[in-house]
Amino acid sequence: MGSLSGTWEIVEATEELNSGNKTGKNQKLPELKLGYKDNIDDDINKLFESISQKTSRDLSLLQDGTSPKMKNALKKPITVGVARSPRIGTSEPVTLKQALRDLCISKASEMAAIKRLSKSTSSPRVSEVGKIKTLYNAVVAEPSRAGLSFVESKGTVYEVSLVSEESKSVSLMETSHYCQTEVGKINTLQNSAVAEACQPGPSCVESKGDIVETSPVPEEIKAISSEKTSQTCQNAKIISTSEKVHQSPKLAIPTTQNDAEASMVQSNLVYSSTKFDVQLQRMETSQTEKQDSAHSLPVSGTNASKLELPENTSSKKLGNKALVSKNGRKGRSQTVSSSSNSVNVNRSSKLSRSTPRTVKSVIRNKNLSKKKLKQDSSSVLSALTSNEMNNKSVPGQTQLICQRCRCTLENTSNGGSQESIASESTSPGDGVDSSNVHAGGNNPVLTSTNCNRSRAVAKVKKTTRLREQLEFSQSSKSSQGEYSSSTSTSDDSNVSGSTCGNRPHMSKDVRWEAIRHACMQHGVLGLRHFNLLKKLGCGDIGTVYLAELIGTNCLFAIKVMDNEFLARRKKMPRAQTEREILRMLDHPFLPTLYAQFTSDNLSCLVMEYCPGGDLHVLRQKQLGRSFSEPAARFYVAEVLLALEYLHMLGVVYRDLKPENILVREDGHIMLTDFDLSFRCAVSPTLLKSSSDVDPAKISGPYTRSSCIEPFCIEPSCQVPCFSPRFLPASAKARKLKTDLAAHVRSLPQLVAEPTDARSNSFVGTHEYLAPEIIKGEGHGAAVDWWTFGVFLYELLYGRTPFKGCNNEETLANVVLQGLRFPDSPFVSFQARDLIRGLLVKEPENRLGSEKGAAEIKQHPFFEGLNWALIRCAIPPELPDFCDFGISELTQQGKGKYLECNATGDHVEFELF
């Protein structure tokens, strides 16, 4: 045979087979026709037989000196029933040797594949069956590992719930049949993705074409607590690669970190590729109804997170499957498919009103039960807020009081509504209090009809109860009242009136009572109801006075702004911004706005009074004009929390400096002055942090030791018997700490601060301006981390780091000069390291630019700090803190600083 290989040709010619030997030349080899319907073994056998017969016959002929005519005949194409190429109708000449080799290889491959399959299903490249089996295994294995379970079949709908390790009850029997189809492959792919999403670890699913490979989940990740698991389960990453195009589909289901926010689960599926565009989309195809199966996983609550899988499609369409999240169709999740060649990674996700991914079955310990309770409360609260109380809600008690304030209703109907945080919300109704709403959520609007009011009262009562419940569950050991992450918005009117509101963290404040009482008594609050005692200071847009609400012994700081002046100087927008931001705030380290009104073209903001002066003045009073490190740490920590909160509300502060940090009566701080802030949208995102930690940003001991609250383990807390014998206790403690720190860092991180916000304004204070502002490149939230670094520097060293002889030089230094630390006073490595991380000139490399305050909080400078209880921490001692008694102030203030005609409408006093 070998000697004749060059003379024999086998040409696939299906057409010729069908047309019945048009040339007539093939008639000489009819026995080589192989039928499509014969099985491959028969075909091969026949082929071999024919070839051997012909070969021996021709050989004998040739040897006998047969005519060359016969040789030519042997070169004619023969028809082979089994097409080698999918291009049917075309002929491809193939040598006999090749054909035989192909056949043999093919056969051998088949055999080997079958053999391999019988041993293991791990190799998906064997055949379709192999692939499907592999995929099937992926489905079976992954959910079971990730705590997913299939429960019921509902047509084509896959319901996938996220359950923890404990509740893994997998009913796999129902899944077997669907894996026999291409739909099964798709479903498997998707389920793998979902399963991966629930993996409490950083593993990912890689899909290469039809093949799904699932990386194992590290054991230590599995071992995290179920609470952490549920958090972790919100994050997922899928990397899928089709044959030709690499894709990076991402399934990200970010969730909020705190309990109140946990009620909102956001699903964001980003699945992009060029050829393998994947959308989650239901495809109604009757043809495949039989093939499809649905598997629903047990979910607690009525709203499971559902993924709806496409009903069948042929394998050719696999690359273009659309996977649809049911949530997405309900508007709960976003589905983003990329167009070709663009990997659309939409990391941002919007908080939706979706029902929380509850995991009742998993909640076994008390903590989780509590958390669940809180989630339920908050979800109900948020539901009420969004659905029932939209534009109507106010806390019950205040509502009742304010109902009697005719002024309130008049003001409401008068409009005076101004744009507020939420686009849909307006907040008229002066004299009406605020309601507790989620940040950036719905601001209440009180309607003027009694009917609506009474309905609102009922709802508000309900909400108040819920909020109390929530507050109760959220309360810490602090004796200083409740803290809630929710925000109150006060009413607003630039016409006239007043605001009496109630903010959770100040709900027991007597000043609220005083304001309410005044509201009831006078109807409309105005300047005439205050004794202006002292001018506290004068800013760009207004003057701040210390004032007493007449007859109440309650002191307030009233910021008075002349509207005409503002309009002339085009500063109205700044005043407006400040007013809007103040209305949103409800935080212990940010000012509380008690009321606002307009009198005689003067806009007035009634705020909490801080008798401790500002940090700039306080610093001057320190020994060496700088704060000790513990004092500085205390102040910057509180400022950090305030900034974090502002960022979460979509406020980039931009004007951080000691002058704007006021000291409260109790020694804690209050960040004021928001007229230079800018507001932006925030899209809370859950980031995987293990790979996200950029070691370049953090040097020094960060990698070795870090505050890992709440798992922080001091060496003194070590239980010696838990330490391995061969390790000294301190080494063991260090190792444990490092492990835990690494573990905490590997957990997903909620980023609820604006990371993409942009502004081009040139605002700030020279010595505090970030390089990107000076360069006019556009800036975002990272400017606050720059100023935070300058602020810390100034507190510790008594001067700012880039100060020049004049403003121009200062600006040049900010952009060009490297950071230097003076030799004295002595400042710890950790403090300098933090400053170094913050004062990075490129905003994208700056500490905090990626994950916001959370990134900064983890810095060793704050090690051991109990962030949650910082309000209970004892503030630094205040030097000769001069707290005027109210009577003294009243005596001092009357007529001395201001001339205020309290009885009439006309108010005269020095403004600027």
Ligand X SMILES: Nc1ncnc2c1ncn2[C@@H]1O[C@H](COP(=O)(O)OP(=O)(O)OP(=O)(O)O)[C@@H](O)[C@H]1O
> Which of these ranges, 12-20, 385-393, 496-504, 672-680, lies near ligand X under the rule CB under 6 A?
672-680
User: Is residue 593 at the binding interface for ligand X, with CB under 6 A as the rule?
Assistant: no
Candidates 276, 512, 609, 645: give the one binding ligand X (CB under 6 A): 609
At closest approach, how far in Å is the CB of 659 from ligand X?
Answer: 6
| Reduced DSSP (H G I as helix, E B as strand, rest coil) percent helix, strand, coil of the chain, to 5 | 40, 10, 45
Is residue 587 close enough to count as binding ligand X by CB under 6 A? no
Token pair 């000139």: residue: 841
Pairing relationship of beta strands 267-271 and 250-252 according to DSSP bridges: antiparallel
The residue from 220, 540, 777, 883 that contacts ligand X (CB under 6 A) is 540
CA atoms of 259 and 372, how far apart (whole Å): 8
Identify which of residues 591 and 684 has a Cβ nearer to ligand X in the complex. Answer: 591
CA-based end-to-end distance of the chain = 110
Dmax (CA) for the chain in angstroms is 138
The structure tokens listed for 899 are 């001339």
Counting residues that bind ligand X (by CB under 6 A) gives: 22
- Contact window for ligand X (CB under 6 A) among 346-354, 513-521, 532-540, 563-571: 532-540
Nearest-approach distance from CB 555 to ligand X, in angstroms: 9
For residue 625, the tally of other CB atoms under 10 A from its CB is 13
Nearest CB to ligand X, comparing residues 429 and 875: 875
Please, which residue, 416 or 542, has the CB nearer to ligand X? 542
Q: Torsions phi, psi of 284, nearest 5?
A: -85, 100
Residue with Cβ nearer ligand X (264 or 656): 656
Question: Which C-beta is closer to ligand X: that of 555 or that of 865?
Answer: 555
- Both tokens of 529, joined, read 């109801």
Task: In angstroms, give the least distance from the CB of 319 to ligand X.
Answer: 57
Which stretch in 21-29, 386-394, 609-617, 852-860 sits in contact with ligand X by CB under 6 A? 609-617
The binding track of 492-531 with respect to ligand X, each residue x by CB under 6 A or -, is ----------------------------------------
**Distance of closest approach, residue 649 Cβ to ligand X, in angstroms:** 19
| C-beta closer to ligand X: residue 249 or 611 | 611
Task: Judge contact between 252 and 293, C-beta under 8 A.
Answer: no
Residue 541 in the binding site for ligand X (CB under 6 A): yes
- Using the rule CB under 6 A, which residue among 34, 323, 544, 707 binds ligand X? 544
Q: Does 597 bind ligand X (CB under 6 A)?
A: no
The residue within the footprint of ligand X, chosen from 311, 608, 644, 863 (CB under 6 A), is: 608
Q: Provide the H-helix boundaries in 569-705.
A: 572-584, 615-620, 629-648
Q: Is residue 211 close enough to count as binding ligand X by CB under 6 A? A: no
Helices (H), 747-781: 771-774
> Would you count residue 804 as binding ligand X (CB under 6 A)?
no
Q: Of residues 210, 430, 586, 655, which has the active-site annotation?
A: 655
- Of 528, 470, 498, 63, the C-alpha closest to 262 is 470
Least distance CB 359 / ligand X (angstroms):
44
| Interface region with ligand X, contact rule CB under 6 A, candidates 232-240, 242-250, 526-534, 540-548 | 540-548
Residue 798 touching ligand X (CB under 6 A): no
Among 47, 162, 193, 536, interactor with ligand X by CB under 6 A: 536
Interacting residues with ligand X between 20 and 79 (CB under 6 A): none
Q: Does 792 bind ligand X (CB under 6 A)?
A: no
Which pair of tokens denotes residue 669?
């701080």
Of 336, 353, 327, the C-alpha closest to 159 is: 327
Q: What is the dihedral of CA 138, 266, 324, 122, to 10 degrees?
A: -10
Residue 478 CB, shortest distance to ligand X, in Å, is 23
Contacts (CB under 6 A) with ligand X, residues 143-172: none
- In angstroms, give the least distance from the CB of 662 to ligand X: 5
CB of 830 to ligand X, least distance (A): 31
Question: In the 8-state DSSP scheme, what is residue 385?
Answer: I
Shortest distance (Å) from residue 784 CB to ligand X: 16
Alpha carbon 138 to chain centroid, angstroms: 28
825: cis peptide before it, omega within 30°?
yes
* CB closer to ligand X out of 14 and 543: 543
* Cβ atoms of 503 and 486 closer than 8 Å: no
By CB under 6 A, residue 142 contacts ligand X:
no
Residue 883 within binding range of ligand X, rule CB under 6 A: no
What gap in Å lies between CA 430 and CA 501, rounded to an integer?
10
> For residues 615 and 661, is the Cβ–Cβ distance under 8 A?
yes
Nearer Cβ to ligand X (271/545):
545
What's the DSSP call for residue 701? G
Token pair in block for residue 383: 């539901």
| Residue among 429, 440, 542, 764 that touches ligand X (CB under 6 A) | 542
Dihedral, CA atoms, 131, 137, 143, 146, nearest 10 degrees? -100
Closest CA to 769 of 783, 789, 754, 758: 783
Binding status of residue 767 toward ligand X by CB under 6 A: no
For residue 823, count CB atoms less than 10 angstroms from its CB and return exposed for 0-12, middle for 13-18, buried for 19 or more. Answer: exposed
- β-sheet bridge partners, residue 435: 489
Q: How far is the CB of 574 from ligand X (least distance, A)?
A: 8
- Contact between 672 and ligand X by CB under 6 A: the answer reads yes
Counting Cβ atoms within 10 Å, is residue 55 exposed (0-12), middle (13-18) or buried (19+)? middle
CA dihedral 819, 822, 827, 831 (to 10 degrees): -10
DSSP letters for 472-510: HHH--S-SS----S-EEE----SSS-------GGGTT-H
What's the rounded Cα separation, in Å, for the pair 777 and 760? 7
Shorter beta-carbon distance to ligand X: residue 115 or 616: 616
Which residue, 384 or 661, is less far from ligand X as judged by CB? 661
**Residue of 610, 686, 769, 783 that binds ligand X (CB under 6 A):** 610
- Of 607, 640, 652, 750, the residue at the interface with ligand X (CB under 6 A) is 607
Q: What residues numbered 551-570 form the site for ligand X, per CB under 6 A? A: 557, 559
Number of helical H runs and strand E runs in the chain: 26, 24
Minimum gap (Å) between residue 480 Cβ and ligand X: 19
The distance of closest approach from Cβ of residue 409 to ligand X in the complex, given in angstroms and rounded to an integer, is: 30
- Name the segment binding ligand X (CB under 6 A); options: 55-63, 177-185, 538-546, 679-687: 538-546
Whether the CA torsion 452, 454, 459, 460 is positive or negative: it is positive
> At residue 807, what is the residue type?
N
Does residue 537 belong to the site contacting ligand X (CB under 6 A)?
yes
Token couple for 28: 């000489």
The span of 178-186, 420-428, 605-613, 637-645 binding ligand X (CB under 6 A) equals 605-613
CB-based burial, 857-875: b 16+ in 10 Å, e otherwise:
bbbbbbbebeeeebbeeeb
Q: How many residues does the chain have?
A: 912
Beta strands 238-241 and 205-208 are parallel
* Least distance between ligand X and beta carbon 609 (Å): 5
> Rule CB under 6 A: is residue 675 a binding residue for ligand X?
yes
What is d(CA 661, CA 613) in angstroms, rounded to the nearest whole number?
Answer: 8
Kindly identify the residues of this chain, within the stretch 624-663, that bind ligand X according to CB under 6 A: 659-660, 662
Catalytic annotation on 655? yes
**Which active-site residues does the annotation give?**
655
Q: Which residues lie near ligand X (CB under 6 A)? A: 536-542, 544, 557, 559, 591, 607-610, 614, 659-660, 662, 672-673, 675
